[in-house]
Each structure stands twice: as C-alpha cells, then as structure tokens.
Chains A and B, each alone.
Chain A
Amino acid sequence: MVSNGHTGDIVLEVEDLRTYFSTRWGTVKAVDGVSFDLRRGETLGIVGESGCGKSVTMLSLMRLIPMPPGEIVSGSIVLQGQDILQLTENEMSKVRGSQIALIIQDPMTSLNPVFTIGSQVNEAIQIHQDIPRRSILQQTLEVLRKVNIPAAETRVKDYPHQLSGGMRQRVVGAIGISCEPAVLIADEPTTSLDVTIQAQYLKLLKDLQQQQNLALIFITHDFGVVAKMCDRVAVMYAGRIVEMGNVREIFNSPSHPYTEALLASVPKLEEDVDRLFAIEGQPPALHDLPQGCAFADRCPHVMDRCREEYPAQFQVSATHNAACWRLA
C-alpha cells in the first residue's frame, strides 16, 4: 500500500476487493482487485469512464450490492478497525449511515417524492439513534441548517418537488451527514449540473468536511472536480485502479497512458486548446477481459508483453503508483 502524506488516522483500508456479477454472458468482473486507503479529513477522487466499476466499488463499501446477481468474492474492507465484510446484515445496517454514508448526487432519484423532506432526514437520524421525538426534530433542523437550507422550520414540511434543484441537492447532503459518518462517499451524475449549483454544492461538502473532519470519496467523470476538491486521485479502468497518486502528481506527471489520454481529452477553461486528444475505441467487456493489460487495444505504447501479462503496480514516487509495463 502506498502511503499518502496525509497525516490523519486511517479510517478505511480496502484490500484486493473483487465484486463480480453473474450474467447470461458470463461473469462480469466489475471490481477486480481494488486496494486503497483513506485518512480522516482527506478527499480521494475516483475517476474513469462509464462502466469501469466506480459505483460498484462504492456500493461494495456500503455492502449494498444486490446478491444475486452480485457477489463480493474476495478482499477486505476495514472501516475504523473493523472488517465490514465479516459483519452480519444486522450489524452492517448500524454501520451504514453512521460510519459510512453514500450520497448519490442525482436529487431527482435519491429523494422519495411522497414524503416531506423533514421526515426523510428524520428517518435517517432515527435509524441509528434511540432519541426522543422532540429532539429528533431539533436534530433534523440542525442538520438542515448545517447544509444552509433557509427557514428550515417551514422547509421541513415541504415535499421534494417544492424545492429547487440546488436545495434538493443540499437535502440529500443533509441526509448523508445526519449521523456524522467518518467516511462520506459522493457519487456524481454523468451529466454536468448547473455550474453555480455545482459550485455551491462542492463548497458545502468542503465546509462539512472541515467541520466534521470527514474522509470524502468523490466519484466523478470530471477532472475539474478532482482539481478543485481532491487530495488524491485513483484512476479506474475496467474494474481496477490503474494509477493512484497525489492530485498534483497525477496532473503534472500522469504515468499511465490511460490517465495521460484522459487528461488530454478535456478542454481547458483557462487556455485555448488547439485540438483535444480523443481516445478511440472502447474499454473491453468486463465479462471477457483480456489476459494482459485491459488498455492494450487503445494504448499507443502497447508492447508484446502487455498482451501476455497484466502489468504489476510500479512505484513512481512514495505516494504515486501505476500499473503499466512502460514503467518496468
């Protein structure tokens, strides 16, 4: 495991996680040997194209993989000293929300349209704590104020459709932090949000992180979000982390050809780009992964060895590693 320079205690340690799905095409290796750690107060970004296993990794951390067809076939997930893969479902339901929480930043689908926002935040709090009703309302209001919902006393009675997009998003955030988890995972939607709403939301998450010393995991397609928010980055490709390092290391000296290509494919706000680099082709099907490097068919540097053997992880610096034979 690569150390990361962040000084907080380790709150989460994922080791060789594998989550497979059995489908009629065969075994889909959605997550295939993912390892990383996370410290209190730090932000880890996970980037990669659609279908590379980002959400399945996070659902595995929450133990929310539908089984069947899914199965966590190996690995360990040590959360605050406890391997959550060893817990019973009952024990896990106490961990979920209170130690690790997932917010899906698609406010249209992550709030239930038939309940008031108050009752939805309420419920999140109540699941985890035996507290009298009166103080639940107090806590609900407190949480809503924390995420800057104005006039929380009247807003608790509103239904999701009565709120604007930005406010709905903050309510989703409120539910995420209501039980003060140690690890908060934010899974971003593919389509970009309104710039100002997104900026407000990112700022809110940063503030909450500071207040509660949260460890944040950001799932995103957008390197801009990574540049703005993250201390470290993991780049995923076809179910594995192919490169990981501190955010500046990744932006300044990407060492995996895939990372390099991804960075060259995004337009820049601050400068003119003559022509973007476009990665041709598509990732391999996860039920039919090649024996060697999964990026080989799209890689401009492919060598014979790449097709024979999956590349080992090579250390680029004490805090930076990548899985590519070019580094051998």
Chain B
Amino acid sequence: MTANPQRGEASARASALLEVRDLKKHFPVTKGLIFSRTTGYLKAVDGISFQIERGKTLGIVGESGCGKSTTAKLLLMLEEPTEGQILFEGEDIHHTDASHRRSYRSSVQAVFQDPWSSLNPRMRVRDLIGEPMVINWDVPKREIEERVEKLLNDVGLSSYHANLFPHEFSGGQRQRLAIARGLSLNPKMIVLDEPVSALDVSIRAQIMNLLKDLQKEYEVSYLLIAHHLATVRYMCDWVAVMYLGQIVEYAEVKELYNTPLHPYTKALMSAALPSHPDIEQDEIILTGEVPSPLNPPSGCRFHTRCPFAMDRCAVEIPETKEVAPGHTTSCHLY
C-alpha cells in the first residue's frame, strides 16, 4: 500500500473538520459452519485518506461495490476500522474518551437513499425528529417541541406535519423528514448516501437545493455518495474517485470534471450521460465488471480494464502523486 504524503500535507494547510488517514476495512471471509475458519479477507476499504472541511462537501463516486457505503459506515462508527485513523477536530475518535466519542456520534449524522425504510413507520413525526434530542440532550419537552417545529420549517414542511405518521408523506417529503431528523442535534457533518436517487426527477432539485441552503445556514459539512456524476458536480466542493477500495483520484470538483486524469475517472465521465444531444463524448466504455475485492488484481488494481495499461501496470503499484495543487492521482501515466 502506498502512503499518501501529499494528501497529508494538503490537510495541514486546510482547516479540516474531519480527516481520514489510511483507513482500511477488511471483512473476514469464512468457510465451514461448525469449525468456521477465515479463508481470506474482502478488502472493502483498503487504505483511503481524505479530509472534509467545515461547511464543505466531499463527494465519493465509483462503481457499485467499490466501498463507498463501507466508508460511510466507518465514519458513522457503524463499522470498526481494520486499520487507520479518523480524526475529528484533530481528535482520533477511536482513541479518545467516552465523552468525546459520544459527542462525535451526535456531531455526525446520516441520511440514506431510501426514505421509505429509514423512518420508523410507527412513530409520529414529532417523535421521529425529537427522539435524537430526547436521547442526547437534557432539555425540557417544550424546547424539543419548539425545535421540531423549527426543523420542519427549515426543511420546507409545516408545523402541523408533526402529528402525522411517515406513510402520510410523499417520497420527497419523507426525505425532508429524514433530513430534519439528521439536523436535529446540530451536527457538524452529515453523511448522505444516495440521498436523491430514489426520488422523482422533479423532487431531486428541491432536495438538492434544500441541502445546499441548510449547509450555508448551518455551516454543516457533507460527505455525499452518489452514482449520478452530474449530481455530484452540482453538490460537491471536492470529489474522491474510488476503485476497489482505494481512492484513485482526488481533486476539487471543477478541476476533476474539467481535467480528469486517471483512466478510470475518464471512463466514468465518458459513461455518464450528457446534458444535451449535441455533446460528443469520448467512447471509453469499460468492458467487463469490477474484479472481486476478495482477490484484487496485482499492481494497479485497474489494469485488467484499463485501455492504457502498460506492462509495468500489472506488477507495480502506482504511487499517489500530486499532479496539480490539490489534485492527486495514482497512475503510472503521471
């Protein structure tokens, strides 16, 4: 595994809210029911580093199975890392006292793809949104109710909605509820895993604009996971491109979209759909499928599908280089 010194230095410059250093998550793969033994490791996340600044959005893109959601779960402490560190406001969240950890957990919230399953159907909206405050804060009921109302208004719903159940809302409204709940503890960061992809076209813009407005108002940071590259361009300040558990390219959003460097990023961009029929796209259609993370290819993990692969790509792991200020990539071409 290559270290990422460039990225580390870049982080010293910026005032990162969150910094991830060489993070890994390897899931043991077992065989046998009674005397089960570990036969290998699935390297879902395999040495990634990035940082998220206050009030900014980092996007993670990449094909299905590349480790995006696992990264999200690691940040949410729903999974224990195999290796590596997560620093939040400079504090290593796995090597700190319980009270810091508790405060981290309430500072980092999540909104997932499916607004239908992420809200408990038996709870009224007032309790759904109020619950995290009841658990985490020692404040009078009256204050919580006032805050629920404020949050509902913030996400474009009305106070009377507090008395309803989730099934009484449309998909877009439910996603608003999920966002209101995510905001309830005044988080510093929200992990958004495909927050609009299950929504209807006309509602996606509403939710994206809402997220942007809330970010401006509360200076909250986002980690956004999305397949749709145009959505990522609209929402993000920085973007990390993942392939088989690793970040292959990392840059500011405009830079990445205007001058993608890594062959994988280029292929993703050419596979994304154009916004106008007259736009000519490069035809780099990736053939085949992502190799198994159980047994990733040697050398550059992308070499089995890369149209530019050279002999050394199958043997040598490419280093991560800073090709332009803040723009890093891992490929022997650079």
What residues of chain A have their CB less than 8 Å away from a CB belonging to chain B?
49-50, 164-166, 190-200, 203, 221-228, 230, 247-248, 251, 261-262, 265-273, 275-280, 282
Contacts and interface: CB of A to CB of B under 8 A. Distances in A.
Residue among A222, A266, A271 with most chain B CB within 10 A: A266
A321 to B, nearest CB: 19
Contact of B277 (A190, A248, A268, A282): A248
| Residue of B170, B201, B279 ringed by the most chain A CB atoms within 10 A | B201
B200 A192 contact: no
B272 interface: yes
B159 interface: no
B227 A194 contact: yes
Interface string B241-277: 0000000000000100100000000011111111111
Interface string B55-71: 00000000110000000
A224 B205 contact: no
Interface stretch (B7-15, B96-104, B230-238, B295-303): B230-238
B234 A223 contact: no
Contacts of B29: none
A266 B230 contact: yes
A19 B171 CA distance: 25
Given A221-B200, A221-B201, A225-B273, 20 more contacts: A49-B200, A50-B171, A191-B113, A194-B64, A194-B227, A195-B272, A196-B286, A197-B63, A200-B286, A223-B275, A227-B276, A251-B276, A265-B202, A266-B201, A266-B230, A267-B233, A267-B235, A269-B233, A276-B205, A276-B208
Nearest to B279: A270
A165 B227 CA distance: 15
Nearest to A165: B64
B272 A227 contact: no
B205 A166 contact: no
B285 interface: yes
Contacts of B230: 224, 266-269
Contact of B279 (A193, A227, A276): A227
Interface centre among B204, B230, B233, B279 (most CB of A within 10 A): B230
B273 A228 contact: yes
A196 B63 contact: yes
A223 B231 CA distance: 13
A246 B46 CA distance: 48
Interface string B202-216: 101110110010000
A193 B233 contact: no
A284 B105 CA distance: 42
Nearest to A283: B202
B327 to A, nearest CB: 17
A277 to B, nearest CB: 7
A190 B200 contact: yes
Contacts of B171: 50
A160 B44 CA distance: 24
B105 to A, nearest CB: 29
Contact of A192 (B202, B228, B234, B254): B228
Contacts of A166: 289
30 contacts: A49-B201, A165-B64, A191-B198, A194-B63, A194-B64, A195-B227, A195-B229, A196-B268, A196-B271, A196-B286, A197-B64, A199-B272, A199-B285, A200-B285, A221-B200, A222-B273, A227-B276, A227-B277, A227-B279, A228-B277, A247-B277, A262-B202, A266-B205, A268-B275, A269-B229, A270-B257, A272-B233, A275-B209, A276-B208, A278-B209
Contacts of B274: 224, 227-228, 269-270
B197 interface: yes
